[in-house]
Chain A
Amino acid sequence: MKNEFQVIADLIEKDKKVLDVGCADGTLMKFLKDNKNINIRGLEISKEKVQECIAKGLTVIEGNAEKDLKQFPDKSFDYVVLSQTLQAFLNPELVLKELLRVGKKAIVTIPNFGYWKVRFHLLFKGTMPITKTLPDEWYNTPNLHMCTIKDFFHFVKSKDIKIFKSLALNNLNTSIINETNLGVKNLFADLGIFLIEK
C-alpha cells in the first residue's frame, strides 16, 4: 500500500465510522476495514472501480461527490477521507464544505503544485508539469483546480477551519507542516495531508 494510505490510516483510531470519498478500487477501505475494524463506506464515480470494491466485499455507493454527499446527514461519519481528488472537482470549495458537514473530521490530501520538481519542470521545460503525483498531460488531466500546500493551508485558515494536523510527504518521508516551515515544505513535499474540522 502506498505511503499516503499508511499515513491516513495512522490518523484514524480503531472502531470508527469512515466515508472514503472517491474511494477508487477500495485499497484504503480494505486496509482500514481489515486492520482497524473501521465501519467504512465508499463513494465512487467510476463503474469499473465500484465493481472492484464490490469484489473486495466493500460497501460502496456509485455516485458523484459534488451531487451525492448531500444525502448524508450532518456529522454521520467520524472521518471523511478525500484522497488527491479535491483538485478535480468543479467546485472544490463546496465539496470541502460538504466533507466537513458530513464528517466530524475530514482528512484531505492534495498533490502539491508547489513541489520543486513541478516548479522546475515549468521553469526550465516551459511545458505543463508531469510528475509521479501529476501523471497526466494538460489536455487529458482530470485536474481543474490545482493548488499548492501553501494555497490550501491559507485557504482553510481563511475559512475558519481547524487544522489538527498537517503533514508533508516526500516519497517515504513524512514531516509536520507548521506556519514557520510552510515555505520549505511547500517546496520539498509532493503531497500534503490535512486533518481538519469545522
Chain B
Amino acid sequence: MNTEKNIKTLIVKKPLKLDCGKTIKDFPIAYETYGSLNSKKDNAILIFHALTGDQFVTGINPATNKEGWWSYAVGPDKAIDTNKYFVICSNVIGGCMGSYGPSHKDPDQKIFGTNFPVITINDMVNAQYNLLDHFGIDKLFSITGGSMGGMQVLQFISNFPDKSKTVIPIATTSSHSAQNIAFNELGRQAITADSNWKDGNYTSKDTNPGKGLAVARMAAHITYLSKKGLQEKFGRKLQEREDLKFGFDADFQIESYLRYQGSVFVDRFDANSYLYITRAMDYFDLAKQFRGNLSEAFINTKAKFFIISFTSDWLYPTQENKDIVIALNSIGADVGFVEIESDKGHDSFLLDVPDFLNALKNFLDKSYEEN
C-alpha cells in the first residue's frame, strides 16, 4: 500500500495528549509540500484532507499513480497557486499514508489494529501543528480544506487563533449530524461484518476485509453525489449489454461504477483507518467544546474567514455551513460566504467547478495582496 521511499515524514518527539486520555510520542506525521516558502515565510497554506484523502494534494500521487485529490484546485496558476504559495498537507493521524495509525506497530512490535487509540479531529490538528515549528512558520497565510478537512480548519483556528491570517472551511459542518453519523456507521458495520476483518487483526492473519471496505466506500460514494448528477450521468443506462440479464450482475452502469469505485478504494486504503477516521468525524462537535456556543470557538481570532458551500451538497448542506457564518457574525468576525451553484453534490469541491475555483482564487489572491 505505501511506497515508503516517496513519503516524507516528521517524527514528533513531543508527547501529545489525546482526547481519549492516552498520550502518544515519537510518532510519525507524513507530509508533502508544493511550491516554495518565501524569505518572509508569509506565503504558507496548510491544507487539510478529507476522510479518504492523503498528503498528495496535486500532481501524481506516488502511491496510486493517479492525480492527487485536489489537482483541480492546487498547482501552478491554479486557484491555490503553487507558483505563489507554499502548500503543506499532511496525512491525518489514524490514516494510512505514513502518519501514525492503526497499521503501525505498538511498542511491543505488534500491529495496533483496534488497539490504536481512538483519535479526534482535535487530536489530528494538534498533531499537525508540529509542522509549523518544523518549517519555522510563525503564521500561516491560510488554512483550508473541504468536508473533514473543513472540520480540521475550524478546530485548528479555534485551537491556534493567531496562527493563520485567512481561514477557508469548505462544504463542512461544525457538528456531525445524525445523518452523517448514520452513514459512517453503515460503513463501519460493512467492514466489521466482513469475516476477514478478524477483529481488526487482518494483517497478522494475512487477510483483508476488502469486501466490507468496498461496500463502505460504495455507500459513502453515493452520499458524495447528487440525485440529479447521478441521473444525468447514468440514468438507467445499461452496462455493456443490450437488455436486462435477469440476474445479479451489474446490469446498470451505476452498479458497475460503484463496484469499480469500491474495488479501487480497497487497493489504496486501510479498513481500520476507515473505522478510526469516520469515528473522529462522528465525535466532532465544536460547539460542545464551548458549552454549546459555537461563537466562543472563534472569539480569540482576528482571522478573515471565507466559507463556501454547494447547492446540491446534501451531506454537509448549505445551512450547516451558514450556521458557522452566523456564529462568526454574532461576534463581529470578518466573514464572507458564498453558496456555489453545482449539481455535483458534496464532491463539487474536488471537481472542476469554475465558480468555486474562481471564488477561491480571488479570495486568496486579493487577501494576499492586502498582506
Contacts and interface: CB of A to CB of B under 8 A. Distances in A.
B366 interface: yes
Nearest to A52: B362
Interface string B202-228: 000000000000000000000000000
Contacts of B363: 54
A73 B339 contact: no
Among A41, A61, A63: residue with most chain B CB under 10 A: A61
B329 A62 contact: no
Given A71-B325, A71-B329, A61 B339 contact: no
B355 A51 contact: yes
A164 interface: no
Nearest to B327: A71
A41 B325 CA distance: 13
Contacts of A72: 329-330
Given A71-B326, A71-B330, A73-B330, A51 B338 contact: yes
Contacts of B367: 57
B335 interface: yes
Contact of B339 (A41, A55, A62, A71): A62
A189 interface: no
Interface in A14-58: 41, 47, 50-51, 54-58
Nearest to A48: B355
Given A71-B326, A72-B329, A61 B362 contact: no
B135 interface: no
B308 to A, nearest CB: 10
A39 B325 CA distance: 18
Contact of B332 (A56, A58, A61, A73): A73
Interface string B352-365: 00010011001100
Contacts of B325: 61, 71
A86 interface: no
Contacts of B335: 59, 61
A54 B338 CA distance: 9
A54 B332 contact: no
Contacts of A54: 336, 338, 359, 362-363, 366
B304 interface: yes
Interface string B140-181: 000000000000000000000000000000000000000000
Contact of A47 (B336, B341, B366): B341
B259 to A, nearest CB: 37
A191 interface: no
Contacts of B338: 47, 50-51, 54, 60, 62
B19 interface: no
B362 A47 contact: no
B359 A76 contact: no
A51 B362 CA distance: 9
A71 to B, nearest CB: 4
A35 to B, nearest CB: 16
A61 B304 CA distance: 13
Among B304, B332, B336, B358: residue with most chain A CB under 10 A: B336
B232 interface: no
A62 B337 contact: yes
Contacts of A63: 337
Nearest to A69: B329
Given A47-B341, A54-B359, A61 B330 contact: no
Contacts of B334: 41, 59
A51 B359 contact: yes
B338 to A, nearest CB: 5
A69 to B, nearest CB: 10
A60 B369 CA distance: 18
B301 to A, nearest CB: 15
B320 to A, nearest CB: 15
Interface string A129-158: 000000000000000000000000000000
Contact of B366 (A57, A71, A73): A57
B341 to A, nearest CB: 6
Among A41, A54, A56: residue with most chain B CB under 10 A: A54
A51 B366 contact: no
Q: Please list the 9 inter-chain residue pairs (A to B) with the smallest Cβ-Cβ separation, ordered nearest first.
A: A57-B366, A71-B326, A61-B337, A59-B336, A55-B362, A71-B329, A54-B362, A62-B338, A50-B338
Interface of B: 304, 325-326, 329-330, 332, 334-341, 355, 358-359, 362-363, 366-367, 369-370
Interface of A: 41, 47, 50-51, 54-63, 71-73, 76
11 contacts: A47-B355, A51-B355, A54-B363, A55-B366, A56-B366, A57-B370, A59-B334, A59-B336, A61-B335, A71-B330, A73-B332
